[in-house]
Amino acid sequence: MISPVHITWLVSDKIGVLDCANPAESPAVQKELENQGFVQVVTVRPWPFTMAWKLPDSNLRNFMVRVMSSSALSARDMFDLQEFCLYELVHGRRVPIWFEDPQVRDACVVAICDFFSPGADDLDGFLAETMVTQRERFAQLPPEPAEPTGCHDCHENRCQRDCVCHATTVESATSIIRARSILSACKAWDVSGEEMVRDPRNAAGDPPDYFEHVMWGPGNCTEVDKLVFERVVGHVPSWEEFEADFRPAVRFFFCEDEIQNHPGWVIDGVQEKIRDELPLNPYLILVVIPEGLDGSQKLIELARSSLPSGKVASFPFAGLHCKDWAQMLYREALARRAPKGKQVNSIETASVCAPRHHVGVLD
């Protein structure tokens, strides 16, 4: 039988261009990719945003790369695609890429080949050296245009990242405040990434190394609340269910410019993250605790007794739409952040010592 998949390799047998039907829509293509040992696929088309998620009824993770132009990727999206390829190769995973538009494909093929050409004779050495320079390349990206991207998960219809947030449950937030740090899943639970991959809550199909990092998202996004809500109710809710029974997460806000200077910072093409641990001191701008959740009053009291008053806020959420809530909290965090160039205020170390608990990919 003729294979439904043909691959033209660009970088050794590690990065290749797929000639086939859209993998996100073809079970036959998905099955063939799995049979060939792939654990993921990249699809480049007009997605509303760039993200990675497990394909339904498949073991493949789909890295969805948005296309903003009819002929090429934006500078940021091209950066994300290249850094995704870099990160995945470092962690031993091959990258098959499917393009919807031939013009976009041709432009990306040239860019990818140019990017990896210095590693023609020593790919492993090139990968190691280039990972070290991620921060410098990221800093050279031009600012993204302040215009809607097609995402409808917030009022602004675009990600706001001057302040970013890490969202979690009341229980995990209690552990974070006591420990003065947000830990990766592996470090908090003292388990391997391979074990975390098998957790039923790993709906995104994240690979083992993802659980060795602390993640965050845009400060105005509602998806972070929905993800935590999913873990509370034990299933993937529809947006209708989420909005009807809206229960927001506790949010820890940080200035993205500040945490990009953390020595453990890395970007995997999907998101920025910190290896192992993100301490609250000196990075925390604000923790916002929703009033009315189970255990929230005790958490508010703990936070106010443990952190500087200017870094703790609580608000009732009853009657608010999830987008209104996210917008209100983002504006509050912006108002609390330190001016550009000013040293972030230090948080005094608490006298209470407690076991550190996990807030990572999974809570």
Give 279's strand partners. Answer: 181
Which pLDDT score, from 0 to 100, does residue 147 have? 62
Question: pLDDT, tens digit, for every residue of 294-309?
Answer: 999 999 999 999 999 8
User: Degrees (nearest 5) of the Cα angle 195, 198, 201?
Assistant: 115
pLDDT tens digit sequence for 168-209: 999 999 999 999 999 998 998 899 999 999 887 787 889 999
Across 334-359, average pLDDT: 45
Residue 1 above 70 pLDDT?
no
**What's the rounded Cα separation, in Å, for the pair 303 and 178?**
9
In degrees rounded to 5, what are phi and psi of residue 64? -90, 110
Q: 79, exposed or middle or buried, with CB in 10 Å at 0-12, 13-18, 19+? A: buried
Token pair for 270: 């999907």
R_g of the chain computed on alpha carbons:
21
Domain 6-139 fold is: Protein-Tyrosine Phosphatase; Chain A (3.90.190)
Q: Which of the two residues, 147 and 131, has the higher pLDDT score?
A: 131
Q: pLDDT tier at 287 (50, 70, 90 boundaries)?
A: very high
**Domain locations in the chain as residue ranges:** 6-139, 163-336
Q: Are strands 312-316 and 284-291 parallel, antiparallel or unpaired?
A: parallel
Q: How far apart are CA 358 and CA 28, in angstroms?
A: 39
| CA–CA distance, 16 with 249 (Å, rounded to integer) | 40
Q: What average pLDDT does the segment 214-239 reach?
A: 87
